[in-house]
């Protein structure tokens, strides 16, 4: 049963980590290391079953292979999950035991933060292994990736505007930004600097207030964001917001935002294409975070990070070209770009 599962996604290695003294139950999934060591965050979540945890780590690690490949990184895809409640189950022992498992893989898997994990937890992991990114800046870490992710999202937007309208005049267009968290508010700031008309929404009223007062955005209701007359819909909150219910309401000609898994399913991706809306694939647009932490591996440098973010423009352009070349929706073209890169790099036998 488990091996069949691994065949479906083509995983190289899955490690079950158990230490009952500290209550650790974790799974590390290494999906693909053709491009390099597998990099991907560790998620801590109170999964209802071990099967749910396994499904999640397999799906997420495969996603990292594609994301890292499209980002042009010499890095493979992996992910880890710790089964537990981040609010009650965290301890030094748990994270140090987890760090020992990461260390035991000898660098085939490099971890980072994900949902439920913060920089303090990573400090404990870091005591046991060098194969960790996203640690505090005092240890050579890169700090909060969100401003980089927002900047990368802007690069994706420029490529999308160019593709759709033949120009990159951000200020000529209007934007519906959903979610004003770490990335969303930074993105709004970048839009404002370029003179854009911005509609915003968020569950959190203080964040909306800030976007209105500091960046002159117009606040709309949580559900109203799908109806506003904006040229670009920018999901920066949750996944699955482009779905059967919302898509018919969107007036936008471009979907470009930082949220993960924006399309509810592939059929919606096909329908987006059919309606003539340009979808900038989420994992290519929001790669700024992983690009940033990847630079920690051989010594973090902010200049290099900013240069790397700008490659997102070219990655998106390439995806749009593949979409046109092969007559496929852009979400599919992104996967194809990743698969082509892994295949070619896999054939390159570089001297040791």
Check residue 240 and give left, alpha or beta (phi > 0: left; psi -120 to 50: alpha). left
Give the residue from 104, 105, 109 showing the smallest Cα distance to 133. 109
86 binds ligand NAD (CB under 6 A): no
Of 70-78, 133-141, 144-152, 160-168, the window that binds ligand NAD (rule: CB under 6 A) is 144-152
CB 257 within 8 A of CB 175: no
149 binds ligand NAD (CB under 6 A): yes
Task: Report the alpha-carbon distance of residue 284 to residue 306 in Å, rounded.
Answer: 16
The single residue among 76, 156, 179, 269 that binds ligand NAD, judged by CB under 6 A, is: 179
Q: Residue with CB nearest ligand NAD?
A: 181
Write the DSSP string, 182-203: HHHHHHHHHHHHTT-EEEEE-S
- At closest approach, how far in Å is the CB of 103 from ligand NAD? 26
The single residue among 289, 300, 319, 342 that binds ligand NAD, judged by CB under 6 A, is: 289
184 binds ligand NAD (CB under 6 A): yes
164 is catalytic: no
Task: Report the alpha-carbon distance of residue 256 to residue 334 in Å, rounded.
Answer: 14
- At closest approach, how far in Å is the CB of 117 from ligand NAD? 13
Task: Report the alpha-carbon distance of residue 295 to residue 299 in Å, rounded.
Answer: 6
- At closest approach, how far in Å is the CB of 239 from ligand NAD? 6
**What is the per-residue binding string for ligand NAD in 196-215, x denoting contact by CB under 6 A?**
-----xxxx--x--------
The single residue among 75, 183, 312, 334 that binds ligand NAD, judged by CB under 6 A, is: 183
CB 29 within 8 A of CB 61: yes
User: What sign results for the dihedral spanned by CA atoms 293, 298, 302, 308?
Assistant: negative
116 binds ligand NAD (CB under 6 A): no
Which residues form the interface with ligand NAD (CB under 6 A)? 145-146, 149, 178-184, 201-204, 207, 222, 236-238, 258-260, 286, 289
């Amino acid at each position: 049963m488990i091996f069949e599962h691994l065949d479906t996604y083509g995983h190289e290695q899955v490690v079950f980590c158990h230490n009952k003294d500290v209550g650790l139950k974790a799974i590390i999934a290494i999906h693909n290391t053709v491009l390099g060591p597998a990099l991907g965050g560790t998620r801590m979540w109170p999964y209802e079953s071990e099967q749910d945890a396994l499904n999640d780590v397999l799906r997420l690690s495969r996603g990292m292979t594609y994301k890292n490949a499209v980002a042009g990184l010499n890095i493979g895809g992996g992910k880890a999950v710790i089964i537990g409640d981040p609010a009650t189950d965290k301890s030094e022992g748990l994270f140090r035991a987890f760090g020992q498992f990461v260390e035991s893989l000898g660098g085939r898997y490099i971890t980072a933060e994900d949902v439920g994990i913060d920089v303090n937890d990573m400090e404990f992991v870091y005591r046991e292994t060098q194969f960790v990114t996203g640690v505090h800046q005092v240890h050579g870490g890169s700090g909060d990736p969100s401003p980089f992710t927002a900047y990368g999202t802007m690069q994706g937007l420029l490529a999308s505007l160019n593709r759709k309208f033949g120009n990159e005049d951000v200020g000529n267009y209007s934007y519906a930004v959903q979610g004003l968290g770490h990335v969303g508010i930074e993105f709004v700031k970048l839009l404002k600097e370029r003179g854009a008309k911005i509609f915003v929404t968020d569950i959190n009223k203080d964040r909306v207030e800030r976007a209105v007062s500091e960046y002159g955005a117009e606040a709309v209701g949580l559900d109203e964001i799908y109806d506003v007359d904006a040229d670009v819909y920018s999901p920066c909150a949750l996944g699955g917001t482009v779905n059967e219910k919302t898509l018919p309401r969107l007036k936008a000609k471009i979907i470009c935002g930082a949220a993960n898994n924006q399309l509810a399913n592939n059929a919606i991706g096909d329908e987006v294409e059919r309606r003539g809306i340009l979808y900038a694939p989420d994992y290519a647009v929001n790669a700024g975070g992983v690009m940033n932490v990847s630079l920690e591996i051989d010594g973090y440098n902010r200049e290099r990070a900013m240069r790397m973010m700008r490659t997102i423009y070219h990655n998106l352009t390439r995806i749009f070209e593949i979409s046109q070349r092969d007559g496929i929706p852009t979400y599919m073209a992104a996967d194809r770009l990743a698969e082509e890169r892994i295949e070619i790099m896999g054939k390159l036998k570089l001297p040791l």
